[in-house]
Structure 1
Amino acid sequence: MSQLEFDDNAARTLEAMYLTPDVVGQRAKVIEMLAPAPGEHVLDIGAGPGLLAYDLARMVGESGRLVGLDASAAMLKVARTRLAAMPQAECMEGDAADLTFPDASFDIAVSTQVHEYVADMEKAVKELHRVLKPGGRALVLDTDWRSIVWHSSDKARMERVLQCWDDHLADPHLPATLGARMRRAGFRVLRVEIVPMLSPRWQPVSYAAGIMKTIRGYAAANGDRHGLSKEEVQAWYDDQLRLAERGEFFFSLNRYAFLAMR
């Protein structure tokens, strides 16, 4: 697995993607499923630029607590700036598979687009269970990249680009096994919801447009193991722009949100 590197530029790019309508809708769905209440203690694992953490901190209020964890210093800088005016919120460096909190510390734990990067999922899910209070809620949201429907003029090249992209994840198909993993760790799974990233036509301010640029950068740097040259990766990207110009762009990808109770 070749991980994505999150420097300051990458952090800003990710923040812009998280502000697109698709991902704003995802945050609304996560908040609806979790239903945070004033005074609750919340752990946001993989807080990224802090957009979800900001909303959750506002909802639990100053009588509550919000802790945002991230492994990236660049992401933590963005999140800390966003949350600076909230005394109930703090951000710290952390590892999803090694949570440094006492047992039963939180009412809510949430993790969006994080656990698919975690190599030791059994430990990560046990840690999630451990830090929750009895009756506490966990929400884990991840993508299964087999769910993608992405139109291309060259299907074989598209497949190779997506196979290369899969390499950046520990498990690009985590949702298929996530419910069973959570139940084995002692959770009761309450709800599973699909959260679509859908662009039936080209929209430059969209998840599809943002991830297209990210995949181009990753595949250009790592495509050799799949026989992809930088020129082929650029040709893949240019093909998508031509399809967009002709009104033939189509992108759909499913994320899956699992709500569980300890």
Structure 2
Amino acid sequence: MEFTGEIAEIQQQLARCSDIAARRLAVAQTLAPRRGERLLEIGCGAGLLLRELALAVGPHGLAAGLDISPDQIGAAEAECTGIPAAKPEIGDVRALGYGDAVFDAAVAVQAVEYVPEVETALAEIRRVLKAGGRFHCLATNWTSSFWHGPEIGLTARIASAWENHAAHPNLPARLAPMLARAGFTGIRQLPVPIVNADFGPAAFAYWLARLMAAHAAREGTAPGTAEAWLAALAAADAEGEFFFSSVPILTTAIAA
């Protein structure tokens, strides 16, 4: 899925909802950036986490943010204006434009699963990390996400289109051995659950549904299906029958 145009705009709104703000805090606290460190964020998107990392490392550190989408980097540059440590730029994780062993830590939030050559990406991340450097990767097993409320057939059609939105839609299940092959050790996996019992704009599910609907429309789902699904979700919420759950997995590892 390309994060450009409407899809980039929806993702940027999603990044500001309360559930994702809480997730950013969890990732940042686990990564524990230190003053003066050099950090790399893969798939920095609109730059909200990058901003927090740059403030944490301070003016003598570096928070380099990489994204393949010009739309996302434009948003990240605006978000990080006036913060000297923040350096967002267009780039490809499969061929990082940095020397060997230059970063103290790297983080990727819902990013690596979109890279077809994921093992190449992991090897590049390991290359630019110092020995002992930290890598934190948050991704979701998307087939385990659960929607309750709308008509089952509508949900099935949207979910079917969503299955191909990422090259590796269930990356956490396969990530640990991939990291070991790339030269990482000390691998741990922790759940960062999201539960929404309402369908308001503060909820992750509200914006995720719009992202899924936009992707389904791009994929040629029958006209009106995406709109009908969103309307069914809103109707279920009005009746007190809406529920959504998802369990992103935060995988942490150390460069050997």
TM-score (norm 1): 0.93
Alignment of 1:122-141 (within 5 A): 122-141=119-138
What amino acid maps onto 1:107 in structure 2? D
* Secondary structure of the structure 2 residue equivalent to 1:239: helix
Q: Residues 231 and 126 of structure 1: is their aligned pair in 2 closer, same or farther, counting only changes over 3 Å?
A: same
Instruction: Say whether the 8 Å CA contact 1:152–1:158 is kept in structure 2.
Output: no
* Secondary structure of the structure 1 residue equivalent to 2:166: coil
* CA distance, structure 2, for counterparts of residue 14 and residue 154 of structure 1: 25
* Secondary structure of the structure 2 residue equivalent to 1:97: helix
Instruction: Say whether the 8 Å CA contact 1:183–1:189 is kept in structure 2.
Output: no
Choose the corresponding residue for 1:251, options 241, 244, 248. 244
TM-superposition CA deviations, 1:59-83 (whole Å, max 9, x none): 0001111111111111111111222
Aligned to 1:211: 208
Is 1:34 matched with 2:31?
yes
TM-superposition CA deviations, 1:20-76 (whole Å, max 9, x none): 111011111111111110010000111101000000000000111111111111111
More off after superposition, 119-128 vs 143-152: 143-152
What amino acid maps onto 1:235 in structure 2? A
More off after superposition, 210-219 vs 103-112: 210-219
Cα displacement (A) at 1:159: 1.8
More off after superposition, 79-88 vs 101-110: 79-88
What amino acid maps onto 2:103 in structure 1? F
* CA distance, structure 2, for counterparts of residue 33 and residue 5 of structure 1: 27
What amino acid maps onto 2:139 in structure 1? D
What amino acid maps onto 1:184 in structure 2? R
Aligned to 1:6: 4
TM-superposition CA deviations, 1:130-152 (whole Å, max 9, x none): 11001100011111112211114
What amino acid maps onto 1:47 in structure 2? C
* CA distance, structure 2, for counterparts of residue 209 and residue 54 of structure 1: 24
* CA distance, structure 2, for counterparts of residue 163 and residue 189 of structure 1: 35
More off after superposition, 124-133 vs 212-221: 212-221
Aligned to 2:104: 107
Aligned to 2:169: 172
Q: Residues 218 and 10 of structure 1: is their aligned pair in 2 closer, same or farther, counting only changes over 3 Å?
A: closer
TM-score (norm 2): 0.95
Cα displacement (A) at 1:153: 4.0
**RMSD of equivalent CA atoms:** 1.4
What amino acid maps onto 1:238 in structure 2? A
* CA distance, structure 2, for counterparts of residue 232 and residue 83 of structure 1: 38
More off after superposition, 181-190 vs 37-46: 181-190
Q: Any gaps of 5 or more consecutive residues in structure 2?
A: none
Q: Any gaps of 5 or more consecutive residues in structure 1?
A: none
Alignment of 1:122-161 (within 5 A): 122-161=119-158
Choose the corresponding residue for 1:189, options 186, 189, 197. 186
Name the count of aligned residue pairs.
255
What amino acid maps onto 2:193 in structure 1? P
Is 1:46 matched with 2:43?
yes
Instruction: Say whether the 8 Å CA contact 1:182–1:189 is kept in structure 2.
Output: no
Is 1:90 matched with 2:87?
yes
More off after superposition, 235-244 vs 172-181: 235-244
Tell me which stretches of 4 or more aligned residues in structure 1 moved more than 4 Å: none
